[in-house]
A and B are shown apart, each in its own frame.
Chain A
Amino acid sequence: DAGITQSPRHKVTETGTPVTLRCHQTENHRYMYWYRQDPGHGLRLIHYSYGVKDTDKGEVSDGYSVSRSKTEDFLLTLESATSSQTSVYFCAISGEGMNTEAFFGQGTRLTVV
Chain B
Amino acid sequence: GNSVTQMEGPVTLSEEAFLTINCTYTATGYPSLFWYVQYPGEGLQLLLKATKADDKGSNKGFEATYRKETTSFHLEKGSVQVSDSAVYFCAPRGGATNKLIFGTGTLLAVQP
Binds A, one of B13-21, B68-76, B77-85, B102-110: B102-110
Contact A105 B43, beta carbon cutoff 8 Å: yes
> What residues on A are CB-neighbors of B31 within 8 Å?
98
Which of B89, B99, B104 has the most chain A CB atoms inside 10 A of its CB?
B99
In the complex, the answer to whether A48 meets B32 with C-beta atoms within 8 Å is no
Check A102 against B100 for contact (C-beta < 8 Å): yes
Interface size on A, as a range, is 20 to 34
Q: B51 contacts the other chain (Cβ, under 8 Å)?
A: yes
Cβ–Cβ contact B100 & A106, under 8 A: no
Q: Which 7 A-B pairs have CB atoms at the shortest separation, nearest pair first?
A: A98-B94, A104-B43, A42-B104, A43-B102, A101-B46, A42-B105, A104-B44
Name A residues whose Cβ lies closer than 8 Å to a Cβ of B. Answer: 31, 33, 35, 40-43, 45, 48, 50, 56, 58-59, 90, 92, 94, 98-99, 101-107
Question: Which residues of B approach A to under 8 Å, CB–CB?
Answer: 31-32, 34, 36, 42-46, 49, 51, 89, 91, 93-95, 98-105
